[in-house]
């Protein structure tokens, strides 16, 4: 995969358009004002923004936020993001009233200035990847930089459409990190390479299982998806969540993957799913019981495999980890990954929450900023935003 890095370009005196991911969660405070409840995505963009400023660029930032359905919605304005970015950078950030149009064009930043465009999705043309809208965005800049890996799986105007209309296009520092670690994991991993997949549904991760099955030495399965595989083996699963329409697929995957695929050998079960519900550990799930976590023998088995790995890829929890005490299996796996000497790559979303809950996020080599994007990448799907960068060379 060959693409230009922002570090390869001369930014001095140039207007640099950086596609960032400021799709941050917002909540109203007691005064009724919208506040950001997690600024991790803004913080993740700081290295590229600082790099552009330090190298003499005028910086234009663009992002979406939420799903405003193609029209302005004040509750999805990026104004809170502009305020937080200014606080984090200690640098003035101008907020544009829109993302295109004469008023925005008149605000184009000089070297050392930052302009944050208003929510791209206030225009339906963004998600439609409209060429006319793409040209308007491209007309704002001399250089395009994509630093929003979390949006790279979307073929939108700001992630793909505008690239053919800009003089130069490059990957930002965050995008580089994502492509470095995820690319290494699926193209040239140090071995043994172990993948850990959890979550509720096999259907959500069919392509990931199939693709990683060709790459890894061991594939450890947890979460509710394990019960579909267990039922495919003829094992009792009680009232555990199962995808009946995926049993035949699971049977094919079991044959295809053979001994490299490992399933839970014991389970934490309950009669009803409630926080703190009475639970027990079983090797066979009785009728009427529901599996909610992997058991201690499975944790021990998985930890042993993890300890011998040189590359670890993890996406998805081992149980209903948001309802303690059914987070024990997930936390134990997180700690095993952290204790390993392997290069560890954790997908976004619930997997990131799991390593945070376990208190080991600082011991993970790379935590992806893109949940959906990282899943598609691991599934071997070419991401439009990344592919557009490689074509722009």
Q: Please choose, from the candidates 13, 81, 77, the residue with its C-alpha nearest in 3D space to the C-alpha of residue 46.
A: 81
Distance CA 249, CA 206 (A): 9
Residue 201 is among the residues annotated as catalytic for this protein:
yes
* Angle 391-145-393 from CA coordinates, rounded to 5°: 25
- In Å, the largest CA–CA distance within the chain is 70
Phi, psi of 210 (to 5 degrees): -65, -45
DSSP state of 379: T
* Angle 275-281-286 from CA coordinates, rounded to 5°: 95
Q: Which one of 128, 201, 297, 363 is the catalytic residue?
A: 201
Helices (H), the chain: 40-54, 79-89, 102-105, 124-128, 131-138, 173-187, 206-215, 225-232, 247-257, 296-307, 328-339, 350-357, 371-378, 384-391
Q: Which one of 70, 139, 372, 380 is the catalytic residue?
A: 372
Residue 372 is among the residues annotated as catalytic for this protein:
yes
Please return the burial class of 72, using the count of CB atoms within 10 Å of its CB with bins 0-12, 13-18 and 19+: middle
Quick one: tokens of 185?
Answer: 């994991």
End-to-end CA distance of the chain: 11
Q: Which one of 161, 223, 329, 349 is the catalytic residue?
A: 349
Q: Which one of 41, 84, 121, 205 is the catalytic residue?
A: 41
Residue 112 is among the residues annotated as catalytic for this protein:
no
Quick one: tokens of 116?
Answer: 């944050």
Q: Which residues are catalytic?
A: 41, 201, 349, 372
């Amino acid at each position: 995969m060959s693409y230009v890095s922002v570090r390869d370009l001369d930014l001095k005196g140039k207007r640099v358009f950086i596609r960032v991911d400021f799709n941050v969660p917002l909540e109203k405070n007691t005064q009724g004002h919208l506040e950001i409840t997690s600024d991790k995505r803004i913080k993740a963009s700081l290295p590229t923004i600082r790099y552009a400023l330090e190298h003499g660029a005028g910086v234009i930032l663009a992002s979406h936020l939420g799903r405003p359905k193609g029209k302005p919605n004040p509750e999805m304005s990026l104004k809170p993001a502009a305020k937080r970015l200014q606080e984090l950078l200690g640098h003035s950030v101008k907020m544009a009233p829109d993302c295109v149009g004469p008023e925005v064009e008149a605000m184009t930043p000089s070297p050392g200035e930052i302009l944050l465009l208003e929510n791209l999705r206030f225009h339906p043309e963004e998600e439609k990847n409209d060429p006319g809208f793409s040209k308007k965005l491209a007309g704002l800049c001399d250089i395009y930089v994509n630093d929003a890996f979390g949006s790279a799986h979307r073929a939108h105007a700001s992630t793909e459409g505008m690239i053919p209309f800009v003089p130069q296009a490059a990957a930002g520092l965050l995008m580089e990190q994502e492509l470095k670690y995820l690319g290494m994991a699926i193209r040239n991993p140090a071995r043994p390479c172990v993948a850990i997949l959890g979550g509720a549904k096999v259907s959500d991760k069919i392509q990931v299982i199939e693709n990683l099955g060709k790459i890894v030495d061991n594939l450890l399965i947890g979460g509710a998806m394990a019960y579909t595989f267990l039922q495919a083996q003829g094992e009792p699963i009680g009232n555990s969540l199962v995808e009946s329409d995926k049993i035949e697929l699971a049977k094919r995957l079991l044959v295809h993957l053979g001994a490299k695929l490992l399933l839970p050998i014991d389970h934490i079960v309950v009669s009803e799913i409630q926080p703190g519900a009475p639970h027990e550990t079983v090797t066979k799930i009785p009728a009427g019981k529901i599996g909610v976590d992997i058991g201690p023998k499975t944790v021990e088995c998985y930890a042993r495999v993890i300890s011998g790995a040189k590359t670890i890829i993890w996406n998805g929890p081992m149980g209903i980890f948001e309802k303690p005490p059914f987070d024990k299996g997930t936390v134990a796996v997180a700690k095993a990954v952290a204790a390993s000497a392997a290069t560890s790559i954790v997908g976004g979303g619930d997997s990131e929450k799991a390593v945070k809950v376990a208190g080991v996020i600082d011991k993970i080599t790379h935590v992806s900023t893109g949940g959906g994007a990282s899943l598609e990448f691991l599934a071997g799907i070419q991401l439009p935003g990344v592919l557009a960068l490689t074509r722009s060379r």
